[in-house]
Structure 1
């Protein structure tokens, strides 16, 4: 189910790298930037913090504006790099909406520079063993590295072949096609496509 962040971004419960790609969206026909300030970047990270915690032990209260501010620019750069790589791998026909001059080598370099995380075994005395992501720095820096690390796994793994651009009218989002019949990022986009098709058929019928 889609969920709106305070900044306007839509969370689709996709893999976190895809959620970051989707921090660019279209509203009223115009491309909007969901990470355009330190406050917005903080709100976005806090919105996905619960999904970071299971892998990196990051708590939402650790992601305050002072902590996020130093990495906000890196978060936007990673988002742009992921969108550039996703556009290439999906043969996205939509025009680039961020950093149109960004090359694939530049995008790869940005991703790799951010993906400095590793997995450690954690085995509590009274619990089960588990792998936990680690990274040096603040909670915000660890969050950035975890998302980048997962992005490497996304592009190098089986989900890469299932990554799709949503080609509904006025949509800039990506999604992972996890069902054979899924064609759009959300039911709302599917409804827009059906409305557009109905309108087009109605117009064609009137012209005959």
Structure 2
């Protein structure tokens, strides 16, 4: 899901949270990796202004995700510095409205047809990218997946995830292993 990949550009590392979009090079790399979903050309190159706009949108989406998982805790990555909920809601809606998207049917020879959202009108890369990201966040938050949106409770993890089955507690197997190891360590240290 694009919205989850977008908010997951803030990740945990042993040294603390890592922001994939911390610089223009990271933003360019991430944009190129997701060019098809974001309506970008393969030669996409970010500018500092675009990076700042996308990071501002990401923080707004993370604020909406924090509200969606409440009363559970928000992601530890930035819970203390998330923008105001109402401002975040306005920013996400404005970004989605800036470049209306419409489905386009693509049917390559010898393959199955697929729908892809494309901008209705011409727009600059920043607007197209932010509209696609905001639209993905709106689709997730307004859809049935919102009820399954969770914050990973594993030590040092800062990710959100959609719970795919009843017993899923963590965003990944690795986080589950870390959480169990930490619990085991605490239990044996207490003895």
1:72: which partner in 2? 51
CA deviations 1:13-69 (Å, max 9, x no partner) are xx111111111122225222221111111111122235x17xx4x4432x123xx44
**TM-score where L is the length of structure 1:** 0.77
| Uncovered stretches (5+) of structure 2, i.e. residues with no partner | none
SS at match of 1:25: strand
The yes-or-no answer on 1:118 pairing with 2:101 is yes
* 2:73 aligned residue: 93
Structure 1 pair 106–197 and aligned structure 2 pair: CA distance change class (3 A): same
Which residue in the other structure is 2:124 paired with?
138
Tell me: CA distance 1:97–1:199, structure 2 relative to 1, closer, same or farther (3 Å): same
Matches within 5 A, 1:21-40: 21-40=7-26
Partner Cα distance (1:132, 1:166) in 2: 30
Aligned partners of 1:184 and 1:151: how far apart in 2? Answer: 21
TM-score (norm 2): 0.83
Aligned length: 184
Q: Measured at CA, do residues 96 and 88 of structure 1 come closer, stay the same or move farther in structure 2, by a change above 3 Å? A: farther
1-structure distance, mates of 2:80, 2:189: 37
Alignment partners' CA distance in 1, 2:9 and 2:115: 30
Distance 1:153-1:200 versus aligned 2 partners, 3 A rule: same
Distance 1:198 1:34 in 2: 32
Gapped regions of structure 1 (runs ≥ 5):
1-14
Aligned CA RMSD, in angstroms, stands at 2.6
SS of the aligned residue for 1:64 comes to: coil
Whether the aligned pair in 2 keeps the contact of 1:166 and 1:184 (CA below 8 Å) is yes
Distance 1:125 1:197, change over 3 A: closer
Q: 1:181 is paired with a residue of what secondary structure?
A: coil
